[in-house]
Every structure is written in structure tokens, then in C-alpha cells.
Amino acid sequence: MLRLHGTSKSRSARSLWAAEELGVKYEHVPTEVAKAKSPENLKLNPCGHIPVLEDDGTVLWESMAINLYLAEKYGKAPFWPANPEGHGQCYKWSFFGMTEVEPHLMTMLMHRIFLPADQRDEKAVQKAADTLKAPLAVLENQLNGREYLLGNDFTIADLNVAAVLSFAMLAKLDMSGAPRTQAWLQKCLGREANQRVRKLP
């Protein structure tokens, strides 16, 4: 059986969401962020982070790697497309989320929530918000005439990008200039599988 180590209050939520969407049986091993560097977790992930996936002797870390692995091994079309071209699109959008969006959202979160008040820099927040206008415009254009990123069906690409962009609400990012993206994000986050994850520790 699959085992997923992590907490729904972290990036682990996106992997829990993927498992829920796929309907696979898994054991959730609640692991707080603060305990990610425990000896037990370091044996699984020497980087000292969560989530970590165990699957019949295969150990994986990095949430996007876990999600793409789960989709490829356990998914079916349309959630995991039926051809290499569709797989490539899923890889593309997943990496887009990690490289073009998440770093800037994390900067905003650091300076609005996580850092002590005397270390916060509103200029850094504004620069990150300004930088995010470009990837939001890319998403807005992609969603023109489409229900989801690849067409009319929800795929692992939507899950991965929506999971990253979910940090925008916590970071208080103004997304009013991207109404299609806002509507798509709320539709993705409102899925039953994600709502179940939000109730997990």
C-alpha cells in the first residue's frame, strides 16, 4: 500500500490531493513540517522535507515528482492523458507552476506571514507580485475558450498548477486582472478530493 508522509498544511497537500483524485488506497502518515528533519524522515528524504511517498520499495520526494509518478502509474485518461504529447503538456504546466509561479508566491508569504515583522520587506512583496503578472497572463490566455489547461477535462496538470496557485490566497495576491484564472482556480480547489484533503491533519 502507498504511504504518504506529510501534512495537509504544507506542499504535501498536493500529493494527498492527487492520491484522492486517483482513488488509490494509501496510508497517510501525518508529519509536521517541524518534524521533517527527524531521524525517521531523514532516512526517507535526506533533504529533510515533506512530502515523502513510499510505494512497494520505491521512495520518492519532491511533490511534483510524486504527483506525476502517481498519475502515470495509477491514472487513466483524461486525468493522465493517453499519449506522450499529453504527458508532455502535463510536465510543461507542472514545471511552469514550480518555476514561474511558486518562488514568487513563497517570497510574498515569507514577507507577509512567516518572517518576523522587523524582517519583512514590502518592496520584495511588490516586486514578486509584479513578476507574477506575466505567468498569470499566460494562464489567462491558456484558459481562453478552455475549461481546463489541456481542454475540457481536469488533469494532473490542473491539479499541480492549482495547488501551487492556492498559495495566492494566503499571500493576498491581487488576481483581479486574471478573472478566468480565478474562476478556474476556485473550480479546481472546490473539487471533492481536495475538500477531503483539507480535513486531514
- Render 130-175 in DSSP notation, one character per residue: HHTHHHHHHHHHHTTT-SBTTBSS--HHHHHHHHHHTHHHHTT---
pLDDT at 58: 97
pLDDT at 152: 97
Mean pLDDT of 105-112: 97
- Render 62-125 in DSSP notation, one character per residue: SHHHHHHHHHHHH--TTTS-SSHHHHHHHHHHHHHIIIIIHHHHHHHHIIIIIS-GGG--HHHH
Mean pLDDT of 107-129: 97
Residue type, 65: A
pLDDT at 52: 98
Mean pLDDT of the chain: 97
pLDDT at 30: 97
Q: How far is CA 158 from the centre of its chain?
A: 9
pLDDT at 97: 98
Mean pLDDT of 89-96: 98
**Residue 197 is placed in which grid cell?**
484533503
Domains of the chain from N-terminus onward: 2-75 (3.40.30.10), 84-191 (1.20.1050.10)
pLDDT at 154: 98
**Residue 114 is placed in which grid cell?**
512567516
Phi and psi torsions of 58, nearest 5°: -85, 125
Phi and psi torsions of 200, nearest 5°: -85, 155
pLDDT tens profile 151-192: 999 999 999 999 999 999 999 999 999 999 999 999 999 999
Angle (CA) 189-191-195 rounded to 5° is 80
Give me the half-sphere count of Cα atoms (radius 13 Å) on the Cβ side of residue 115.
16
Helical pair 102-109 and 122-131, crossing angle rounded to 10 deg:
160
